[in-house]
Amino acid sequence: MSLANRRILLGVSGGIAAYKSCELVRRLRERGAEVRVVMTAGATHFVGVATFQALSGQPVRTSLWDEQAEAAMGHIELARWAERILVAPASADAIARLAHGHADDLLATLCLASAAPLYLAPAMNQQMWAHPAVQANLATLRARGVHVLGPAAGEQACGDVGSGRMLEPHELRDALAASFGDGALAGLDVVVSAGPTFEDIDPVRFIGNRSSGKMGFAVAQAAAEAGARVTLVAGPVSLPTPPGVAARVDVRSAAQMQAAVLDACARADIYVGAAAVGDYRPAEVAERKLKKQAGADLVLQLAENPDILASLSARPRHPFLVGFAAETHDVAAYARGKLARKGLDMIAANQVGGGLGFETADNALTLYWADGELELPRTGKAELARQLVAEVAARYKASRA
């Protein structure tokens, strides 16, 4: 995948894996990227400034207090210049400083001052990697939408074996290239629904389901990476809006999700329904908390919810429709049934239950359309979503040809 004219800011922090970042600069430039390197003071103990200068063909910055560069607010210029910031290696200290918003050296300041997506390639001893302080800092950064690439497991420079090796330069290059997407959905409006719906019983109780929103949020991000203008309609989840997503509408119930999806789809080219929409809701919502009646069962009457996908396909002009099917058994038969019954162009079926599909970090899908199918084997939801989006783009284009 080309990186022609892409502007990558490579931050190098202090760790022995800094030697691999020299190779990384070469790999990025081979694909056409412009690379500017910023080193922390610690990094300069491992690799010389001249090495990165020669490999990047650009001056290397190491200090916030460079009078010449800062005469023209050099750090702000660099922060604006970058399309992606990759910190590789990201030491435990660099991760902690970024998590806590420090701004007392050039790299940390740049990360705060830039709107560019931030990627970290952690590298450290396996014991440090496993430390709760490091993991808590990473959780904070992930929750802010920072992308963490790796680390890999294996033999380490210190002789230990375990997790904490920086990913290889070609793996980091490929991850950055994928983050730009191939423009397969450029110029298109895509609406994605994600997460569960909650159907209130009374002011304190509701009927919900186990969807975390991870799959749908990954689809929204992948569609944005592929160049689409994405509107994400999210059920009640606690996930940050993925980078690149143009608009987000938060909803709670199936009826609210239907209203938001129908509104956004008035001008959409593609709708992907990854949300786990409740099929039923309590027929009546109690205004006050229902009181326990000791010794008596409580019977709830449920009313059928509207089917969002079916209501879209019933419209004379509707977007290309992609549904999901979450099944515990007979996956293919149920998925094909929903494809036909709901009037869809494609359906992505996943096996759920027993630790699969819901809430997990990875997933597997089988895609079905009228005269074909494709298996996408188990992998992380971000990567799986990219593969799904590539297939949706291809089938969308075929349908419009």
Looking at beta carbons only, is 169 or 273 nearer to ligand PMT?
273
**Which of positions 301-330 make contact with ligand PMT (CB under 6 A)?**
305, 307-309, 323-326
Looking at beta carbons only, is 57 or 353 nearer to ligand PMT?
353
Contact residue for ligand PMT among 350, 368, 395, 396 (CB under 6 A): 350
d(CA 232, CA 122): 30
Looking at beta carbons only, is 157 or 302 nearer to ligand PMT?
302
Query: Please, what is the minimum distance in Å from the beta carbon of residue 315 to ligand PMT?
Result: 13
Looking at beta carbons only, is 21 or 221 nearer to ligand PMT?
221
Contact residue for ligand PMT among 3, 9, 192, 215 (CB under 6 A): 215
Using CB under 6 A as the binding rule, whether residue 222 contacts ligand PMT is answered as no
Q: Are 55 and 22 in contact (CB under 8 A)?
A: yes
Using CB under 6 A as the binding rule, whether residue 277 contacts ligand PMT is answered as yes
Using CB under 6 A as the binding rule, whether residue 274 contacts ligand PMT is answered as yes
Looking at beta carbons only, is 181 or 195 nearer to ligand PMT?
195
Contact residue for ligand PMT among 276, 339, 376, 392 (CB under 6 A): 276
Looking at beta carbons only, is 290 or 314 nearer to ligand PMT?
314
What number of chain residues touch ligand PMT (CB under 6 A)? 28
Using CB under 6 A as the binding rule, whether residue 126 contacts ligand PMT is answered as no
Using CB under 6 A as the binding rule, whether residue 155 contacts ligand PMT is answered as no
At 316, which amino acid appears? P
Using CB under 6 A as the binding rule, whether residue 338 contacts ligand PMT is answered as yes
Contact residue for ligand PMT among 213, 227, 242, 244 (CB under 6 A): 213
Contact residue for ligand PMT among 20, 84, 173, 214 (CB under 6 A): 214
Query: Please, what is the minimum distance in Å from the beta carbon of residue 12 to ligand PMT?
Result: 34
Give the residue among 178, 203, 192, 390 at the shortest CA–CA distance from 288: 203
Using CB under 6 A as the binding rule, whether residue 275 contacts ligand PMT is answered as yes
Query: Please, what is the minimum distance in Å from the beta carbon of residue 372 to ligand PMT?
Result: 19
Contact residue for ligand PMT among 77, 155, 279, 284 (CB under 6 A): 279
Looking at beta carbons only, is 170 or 341 nearer to ligand PMT?
341
* Annotated catalytic residue within 22, 111, 158, 265: 158
* Half-sphere exposure (Cβ direction) of 38: Cα atoms closer than 13 Å: 25
265 is a catalytic site residue: no
Secondary structure (H, E, C), the chain? CCCCCCEEEEEECCCCCHHHHHHHHHHHHHCCCEEEEEECCCHHHCCCHHHHHHHHCCCCECCCCCHHHHCCCHHHHHHHHCCEEEEEEECHHHHHHHHCCCCCCHHHHHHHHCCCCEEEEECCCHHHHHCHHHHHHHHHHHHCCCEECCCEEEECCCCCEEEEECCCHHHHHHHHHHHHCCCCCCCCEEEEEECECCEECCCCCEECCCCCCHHHHHHHHHHHHCCCEEEEEECCCCCCCCCCCCEEEECCCHHHHHHHHHHHHCCCCEEEECCECCCEEECCCCCCCCCCCCCCCCCCCEEECCCHHHHHHCCCCCCEEEEEEEECCCHHHHHHHHHHHCCCCEEEEEECECCECCCCCEEEEEEEECCEEEEEEEEEHHHHHHHHHHHHHHHHHHHHC
Using CB under 6 A as the binding rule, whether residue 85 contacts ligand PMT is answered as no
Contact positions toward ligand PMT, by CB under 6 A?
195, 211-216, 254, 273-277, 279, 305, 307-309, 323-326, 338, 350, 352, 357-359
Residues taking part in catalysis = 158
